[in-house]
Amino acid sequence: MSTIHHRRRRGLALIGAIAAATLVLSACTNGSSSDDGANSTVDKSNTDNDKSGDKVVIGFSAPAADHGWMGAITKNAVAQAKQYDDIDLKVAEGTNDVNLQISQVETFINDKVDAIVLLPFDGAAMTAVARKAMDAGIIVINVDREFDSPFAARTTVLGDNYGMGVSAGTYVCDKANGDKNKVVAEIAGIDSLPLTQDRSRGFKDALTKCGLKVNNRVAAEFTVESGEKAASNLLQAAPKIDYLWNHDDDQGVGVLAAIKNANRKEFVMIGGAGSANVMRAIKADNTVLKATVIYPSTQAADAIKLARLLVQKKSMSDLSEIEVPRELKLSAPVVTKDNVDTYLKSAFES
């Protein structure tokens, strides 16, 4: 996310996580297959992915931590690396300067690291240098913002932006319970970004399924200040709202301030990304904020684990597949008062 940013189980969560699969990356020991013949699964009964192995040097670069979600991305990546005595993590200073981030990757290439975990400030702009690393035999794991070429990364770890919109829209539909006269509002992020477009498209598609639509919409910039300004404009333009989805919990701090200033209490608000302060508000159940849709801040941490597996030529022990997948898309569950304790421990601070 930068200023650019940024599992319902049964029931609402499974509905919300459209086209998403949360893959457990922690080590497990699979039992050997009892099937016979050509269709039997791979025997991984002796697999122990957490057992210390050859040293793995990983270069890590991400945008500046000027946003709660982005700060959590780097923090979680560093914490994950510390769990393994065979990982040497080299962390570049967070930057929103594309040229500087390119230089950081060039340094990793010159240092001949084994792998690079890269959350690009701009995926398109970082594609060429990522491909250069791959061509040099360095494994690249692309996080969150995709490169323009499939040859620029071995594996990509993504959140589900479209799925976020679907999850939020499905929650609204469930709460509306067939009433097609409900007024729905939306506070998006930066409209020029594909991630914002995907979130809005998912939201619209889910609402269409139950005969609802977005009646009022404004865009912000993923900041507290922009969230408050956008929300103030929206509230003035919409004298009545039943449901409000705000794309991002960091800008949501400003959105809630505007709601309080306007003394508006008649609607239900849904957040986005899954910050700890929002989850605490959901748990307290004393504001209009009743739910949030998660956009995992564990993506880079997952990428660190995958980089280690790839360099050590291991597979994911929870899968029969003997290769680490080319792409992992994490789920976008809805967090409510009923399940907030499950997600609060892994939430980031806005």
Give residue-wise pLDDT tens across range 221-257: 999 999 999 999 999 999 999 999 999 999 999 999 9
Instruction: Output 85 or 18, whichever has higher pLDDT.
Output: 85
Look at residue 6 in the predicted model and tell me its pLDDT. 40
CA separation (Å) from 279 to 3, 228, 258, 273? 21, 19, 19, 10
Residues 180 and 290 in one domain: yes
3-class SS of residue 175: helix
Quick one: residue 292, left, alpha or beta (phi over 0 = left, psi -120 to 50 = alpha)?
A: beta
Residue bearing tokens 């505007």: 258
Residues 95 and 48 in one domain: yes
Residue bearing tokens 């506070």: 187
Residues 99 and 115 in one domain: yes
Does residue 185 belong to any structural domain of this protein?
Answer: yes
Residues 143 and 187 in one domain: no
Tokens coding 165: 């919109």
Does residue 338 belong to any structural domain of this protein?
Answer: no
Q: What is the value of pTM for the model shown?
A: 0.82
pLDDT greater than 50 at residue 322: yes
Segment 132-150, tens digit of pLDDT: 999 999 999 999 999 999 9
Buried b (16+ CB within 10 A) or exposed e, 40-61: eeeebeebebeeebeebbbbbb
pLDDT greater than 90 at residue 15: no
Residues 290 and 315 in one domain: no
Instruction: Output 164 or 16, whichever has higher pLDDT.
Output: 164
Look at residue 1 in the predicted model and tell me its pLDDT. 43
Segment 252-299, tens digit of pLDDT: 999 999 999 999 999 999 999 999 999 999 999 999 999 999 999 999
Q: What is the CATH number of the domain that holds 195?
A: 3.40.50.2300
Domain limits at 142? 24-158+298-328
How many domains in the chain?
A: 2
Residues 283 and 246 in one domain: yes
Average pLDDT in the 40-65 region? Answer: 79
Helices (DSSP H) in the chain: which residue ranges? 12-16, 68-81, 98-110, 127-135, 161-176, 194-209, 224-237, 249-261, 276-284, 299-311, 340-344
Residues 238 and 148 in one domain: no
